[in-house]
Structure 1
Amino acid sequence: MTYAVIMAGGTGTRFWPKSTSKHPKQFLKLFGKETMIQQTVNRLSPDINSENVLVVTNEDYISFVKDQLPSVPEHQIIGEPVARNTAPCVAAAAAILHKIDPDSTMIVLPADHRIENREGFLDVLQNATDIADETGSLVTIGIKPNRPETGYGYIQYNNDIKVEAGDHTAYSVKNFTEKPNLETAESFLKSGDYVWNSGMFIWKTSSILNAFKVHLPEIYSLAQTLIQSEMSDEDIESFYRSCPSISVDYGIMEKADNVQVIPAEFGWNDVGSWRSVHDLSKKDDQQNALDPGDTVALKSRGNLVQSDSGKQVVLIGVENLAVVETDDAIMVLNLDHDQDVKTVVEQFKADPEKKELT
């Protein structure tokens, strides 16, 4: 059986003031009538129904998941008592699914990505699942780059070592590279054998557990203990509190020798900033992405407005701004500085008088 594991534990600090630790990005409606996590789960249907979805989230967000994904079985919503990065998240999910079905296959997806071409995405997932099932490989999806992006990690692959599956080809991975500088990103784009690291993974549950045994034996041992347990809240808490904090990319994918990547194009965006929200939103003829309510833009171009209050927002003679309003805060941001939002949030967290805003 194939299961989808949705990683939904992040706080989305780059989307302050809408996204806060009390109401993070994946539970917001940034595009249309569905939240990010609802879009993530719903686009899998009918290939994977909600009964075969496992959501791993912060224990403080369990109520959000229940409210927004009522068809996901309650016992398949796992609350993390502490943040330990993605490797423990994957290991816990693998342990749970191994107990349900030792022959299961896992599709691991972040909860907050935007995908335009749903059918193309599902086709790639099916091909990736076939490869994972047939070869026992650890498969990831790489996004074919169309610009020298410095905000994404990259994967280099070997053109000469490949596996065919349906309409797609999986290639053996040479190496992973963290976010590069512009010069390096330009060289990656020219080389033709680099793709963006999407953070989406497909593998047999047994294959990823074996990879933990080889590369992260401490977490593997804890996962085995979890498999033998009753999977109670106390068992989950003990697992997480005993785990080191490490990403599955660094802990396993960069070290394993059976990693395959499928280069793909299906309108993917990790929605990592207010700039990306502007780029992906419906815009007027002046490239303004405005709330459908009482927003007026005069002699203004390339702006984004999101307001929760219903107050009328008026833009006059401005360009390249994001105006974001909530009950607690108003942010006016030059979209060229969208990555600095995280810095502001970190400053607020360090200030006792402003910490509650985050």
Structure 2
Amino acid sequence: FLYRVELGMPDPVEGDVVPLSSYEIASRLSYLLWGTMPDDALFAAADRGELGTAAEIEAQARRMLESPRAREAVKNFHRQWLGLADIDEIAAGGKDPALYPEYRDELLPLFQAETEAFLDHAIFEEDASVGALFTAPYSMMNRELAEFYGVEGPRGEAFERVALDPSQRAGFVTHAGLLALYAKPDRSSPVHRGRFVRQSLLCQIPPPPPDVVPEPPMVDPTKTTREQFSQHVSDSGCRSCHALLDPIGFGFEHYDALGRWRDTENGIPVDASGELTQTDIDGPFDGAVELAHRLAESEQVRACVVKQWFRFGYGRAEQSEDACSLSQATQAFEASGHNIKALLVALTQTDAFRYRRTIAAGGADGAAAEGEP
């Protein structure tokens, strides 16, 4: 962790709220948008006292988003939010060589690079909305990764845009790396994939498992993963949690433990029907592509994206006092058509960014830490 001390100006503007100094604003800007210390131009603006208004801060934020350093910060955010940084940990358990002889550890950096390159291209080259990140019918691949997917792609090592079958792939949620990460060594995992959607994309925390987990039944290898997981619904000790996870995760059953498309499992046609509950997009769906398009229209998903960026950029979890700042950022996000770069600028315009509560008043942001979503 990197701790940055922010004490604010001596005189409160209202009650126990104090404005940050120009140098503290410069620090917040640079660590939000670049993940590192200010450059000479930002230090010079602080020297001149030109970071005291929202307009001055916005001008610097827009300048900084044009720097390659902003792309690195956005990449770091996605590594943490989506779990991309954990893809290399697949190597520890690998994939069952009898079932997945095509697996090799050398695929893992390609998996991570695909999603990072896709998000970078969509956000910075296409100025994409958050919805497009879920629905884009293309990805970024090099020759080796295109061969893994079984699609026509680049002939070299550089990552280029590759069109995909829109009936099989949509946005980052159908990338092989994420699907392989949220799977088991020997099979797909409706639980892990459902939890990823519920927790990371909808910001809903599923209830914890019971204190005493019943011994799982013997697995019949001739049955599909979906059939094997039916035990969760029939067992009262598992039902409350898995009813929130499995019906979402079943939508990804067209993808095996390596994230490859499949029409059958153990000779049985795949059933990828699923259902969303306790969301603003409730209802049945058929497959991950339909799920991705549903998520792209969700206000809960958009609100979750704002929260995740707030946590990452401010180095702390949101509190009740941040409600107005979150609302302000959300409104600007909506007005922009849910543009990611516009959201980053909006996060620099909030009271939570420009002010802090005094330590004596119990303020939580006297020392900001580079944190995780």
Say which structure is richer in strand: 1
TM-score, normalised via structure 1 length: 0.31
Identify, as 1 or 2, the structure richer in helix: 2
Q: TM-score, normalised by structure 2?
A: 0.30
